[in-house]
Amino acid sequence: MATRGAPMVPGTDGLDYEYRQKVAAHHHISVLNKSRLKWCIFFHALLFFVMLAKLSADILDRLDIFILELEELEIPKPLLWEYLWCISIFFSFFGLSAARGNIISKMQKYLIGIIAFGVLPLVYCFLYYIGDIWEYTMMEEDADIDETDIHIWRKMPYGLLWFAFCLVGFQIHGFTLFFGWNLVQAWNARYQNRKIQ
């Protein structure tokens, strides 16, 4: 390492750094996007645990386990899309494995799984509850929400809670797809460079 104020090595003017090797752009992109993808998978796991907490009452009912505190919450019965969305967490193992070994085929499977089981169920949720949200936003201030067809849970429109979930989910899955696609492109560029050499 250079020391400030130390004498310069004779025979150099300090501009010899131009001949040093530089990290290829696709390696830099790969490292950066791997880190970001891991954060997206972490936030996906957190969102999965939120969904699992919501589904816990139904899962325990199916297993004939009765917990009074959960029953008192009167959690609405889940729809099929909620269970389908939970499957998306298992594709995270493909994503982590692909990132660890720079495996394009596993990353592609991961991206397809996120689209099929992550994004599409959220699109269905968004479309399913958009009528309730529209009716809720167009309600007059003095109108009684109990007299409408809007599904209410804990004095909140149930669709509004799902919209918040969808908003977070779309952001996580959108960033996941973006970073995963960047990794596939960077790895393809690396393999193309190897073929040329």
Asked if residue 169 lies in contact with residue 45, where contact means CB atoms within 8 angstroms, the answer is no
Q: Token pair of 9, please?
A: 């090595």
Is residue 11 over pLDDT 80?
Answer: no
Place 122 in a pLDDT band, splitting at 50, 70 and 90: very high
Among candidate residues 52, 85, 96, 83, the one with its CA nearest the CA of residue 173? 85
The Cα 41–Cα 105 span in angstroms is 18
Predicted TM-score (pTM) of this structure? 0.78
Instruction: Indicate if the pLDDT at residue 38 is higher than 90.
Output: yes
- The Cα–Cα gap between 197 and 107 comes to 25
Across all residues in the chain, what is the average pLDDT? 83
Tell me how far CA of residue 64 lies from CA of 72, 186, 191, in angstroms: 16, 50, 54
Alpha-carbon dihedral sign for residues 191, 195, 196, 197: positive
pLDDT at 71 over 80: no
Q: How far is CA 176 from the centre of its chain?
A: 5
Range 146-171 average pLDDT: 81
CA angle, residues 179, 182, 186, in degrees to nearest 5 = 140
Average pLDDT over residues 89-96: 94
Q: How is residue 192 written in tokens?
A: 């193309």
pLDDT band at 175; cut points 50, 70, 90: very high
Lowest mean pLDDT, pick from 61-65, 81-85, 131-135, 144-148: 144-148
- Model confidence at 157, pLDDT cuts 50, 70, 90, reads confident
The arithmetic mean of pLDDT across residues 137-146, rounded, is 68
Q: Identify the DSSP state of 142.
A: T
Q: How confident is the model at residue 138 (pLDDT cuts 50, 70, 90)?
A: confident
